[in-house]
Amino acid sequence: MKPKLLFAALACLAPLRSAVLPNGSELEIRLLDPVGSRVSHVGDPVRAAVVTPVFGRDRILVPAGATVSGVIDHLDRLGLGLRHTAARLDLQFTELHLSDRTVTPIHARLVSVEEAREIVNDTGVVVGIHPEASFSTAVSGAFTLFFIGEPEFRLAVLGFKFLAARSPDAEIAFPAGTEMLLRLTDDVSLNSLETYKPAVPPLTTPQDAHFEDMLAGLPEQQTNRDHRHASDLINIVLIGNQQAVERAFGAAGWHGSEPHSIMALYHVYHCMVQRVGYSRAPMTSLKFNGSPPDMAFQKSLDTLAKRHHIRLWREAESDVWLGAASEDIKYKLRALHITHGTDRDIDNERAKVVNDLAFTGCIYRGSLISRGASFKTVREDAHSIFTDGDVAVVQLNACEDPRLTPADPKTPQPVRAIRAARAVIEDIARSNPVSVGYGMITSIFASSKTRAGTRVQESGAYTRAIAISNVSETAKVSALR
């Protein structure tokens, strides 16, 4: 059963001297240092920041900005795929560090990695992709056959792989800024004298009334692909000039989108073949009240199949922006072409956007404005959108000195020809008939020895807390906890 939605931005009503984080509590974290099967070693330290505050009754127990630390407990490098069929990475987080320098031992299990092509199994181990599961594998198989039976095709097939069908890099590589979900596996006793302030103060009463009237006066609150197909629902309103909006999303690690073009199409093909991410991928053209978006932002990791994204429409040449935020969680086939399937629980994405902006320190005030129970389910069919009906209204500050999302420094890379040649060699070594057969036998043998499967943790599998709330939500939060 999914946990209930927690609305979060309540001040502590009394000094916090002792509290308990119960077993099953979730911590959304963001890596402060890169980790990976190729670059890391067993025993290496690992650190991450908590990006969403954790609440208990009327108190903030763990503020955004607290950190967790631990070690890399185990890893398997894929290499040539002869010893292991997939890369594996086991991160063990063992300590919680609060802002008053209190260090508390924790027992936690990794549940998921945000927007990742990798999956997390039932024991909390990250399992990398199988290199054989790619378009490039089919080409390398054909190359092997041609190499044996048709020598005159060797150069042509090798050239095609070199230019257009390189092997995916199946090693695990999570840069600084990668977001993960931890779940506590035991109660954690907190002994802290710190009193934490609200993550985001609420809007003023006149502001609440103004935006309730504004939402009620909109002729439409849902975007559309064309006049027959409704799409994303308006669920966020931002108040701030264009520069503040761009600075806030940039500090939070979000990127814009490139226009549709031949080069963008080639980049999409490249990302699908090599199974990598595209941080500025084009977005489907949606319209709101007949107009295309004025701005759009997205956040992804290492796959084209998953991403967070939001489209923004400027309201009547003002500093008010109406936003439709949703999360792509998989590929799907629609009208004979591949597109994205989205998480139907759009409140998760509303919370994601608000939490990321709150973490940067770029939010001045914010509240959830109700628009009525009629929006709890927009359409009662296979494409239903589920929501509590509230719109997050967020007032930005100038965002001139934001807290930045950590990012890896630029490291020198081998020249493109060397990278391509290495990919071809690895692909041939991993996906020839002997290696593929060996990998299949090894996988079957391994699955028969253990029942700890590699259950996919899809985005949207849990319900996010949101870092804003109205003061009137106090009783609701207390009841839910």
List, in order, residues 6 or more apart from 185 with CB less than 8 Å away: 23, 107, 108, 109
Helices 347-360/242-251 angle, 10° precision: 90
206 confidence band (pLDDT: 50, 70, 90): very high
450 close to 123: Cβ distance less than 8 angstroms: no
Whole-angstrom CA distances from 249 to 11, 32, 49, 360 are 26, 19, 18, 9
Mean per-residue pLDDT, 148-167: 60
DSSP structure string for 457-475: --TTSS---BS---GGGHH
Cβ atoms 348, 460 nearer than 8 A: yes
When comparing pLDDT for 124 and 269, which is higher?
124
Task: Please give the pLDDT value at position 162.
Answer: 60
Inform me whether the pLDDT recorded for 320 exceeds 90. Answer: yes
Q: Minimum mean pLDDT among 103-112, 151-160, 222-231, 366-375: which range?
A: 151-160
Q: What is the pLDDT of residue 141?
A: 56
All structural domains of the chain, each given as residue ranges with its CATH number in brackets, are 19-131+167-194 (2.40.128.260), 205-405+464-480 (no CATH)
pLDDT score at 385: 80
pLDDT over 80 at 438, yes or no: no
Please report how many Cα atoms fall inside a 13 Å half-sphere around the Cα of residue 177, on the Cβ side.
19
The 3-state DSSP class for residue 273 equals: helix
Q: With 60 as the cut, is the pLDDT of residue 313 above it?
A: yes
What pLDDT shows up at residue 276?
87
pTM of the predicted structure, to 2 decimals? 0.82
pLDDT value at residue 2: 37
Q: Where are the alpha helices (DSSP H) in 49-179?
A: 135-149, 154-164
Q: If you average pLDDT over every residue of the chain, what do you get?
A: 79
Cβ pair 35, 89 in contact under 8 A: yes
Q: Mind listing the pLDDT tens digit for each residue in 378-390? A: 554 546 788 888 9
pLDDT tens-place string over residues 2-55: 333 333 333 333 344 568 899 999 999 999 999 999 999 999 999 999 999 888
- Give the separation between CA 269 and CA 319, rounded to whole angstroms: 37
Q: Averaged over 213-231, what is the pLDDT? A: 78
